[in-house]
Amino acid sequence: MEVKNILADIPAKLPNELFTTLLQGEQLKIERIVSRGQSDAKDDWYDQETDEWVILLQGEAVLEFIEPAEFKQLNAGDYLFIPAHSKHRVDWTHP
């Protein structure tokens, strides 16, 4: 069993969001997402087949949802359950 650190190996320059799979099971994926100012284009919606539980560990982000139409501000430690097919996009992330 190996201990790794979720804050390690973050590139100084990040031209795109960085997705890293930390654990992959039959029914579960644990993924680290690193964003530095990236966001999704307006009307570029995620429509996922699976439920997602997300927690923001560092920085800040704003997610936009369609139904109900709202923006969610996330600060460090904030978490949120996003049911499958709940369309959303990343409106803003802290640079």
Closest C-alpha to 63, from 55, 49, 52, 73: 73
* Interaction of residue 60 with its own copies, rule CB under 8 A: no
Q: How far is the CB of 29 from its own copies (least distance, A)?
A: 11
* Interaction of residue 1 with its own copies, rule CB under 8 A: yes
**Which part of the chain contacts its own copies (CB under 8 A), choosing from 18-26, 33-41, 42-50?**
18-26
Instruction: Report yes or no: 50 and 84 within 8 Å, Cβ to Cβ.
Output: yes
- Choosing from 17, 33, 38, 65, the residue that interacts with its own copies (CB under 8 A) is 65
Look up residue 32 and give its two tokens: 């680290």
Closest C-alpha to 87, from 31, 19, 70, 56: 70
Residue numbers 74-93 binding its own copies by CB under 8 A: 74-83, 86
* Interaction of residue 69 with its own copies, rule CB under 8 A: no
Q: How far apart are CA 16 and CA 24, in angstroms?
A: 22
Residue 18 or 80 having the CB closest to its own copies: 80
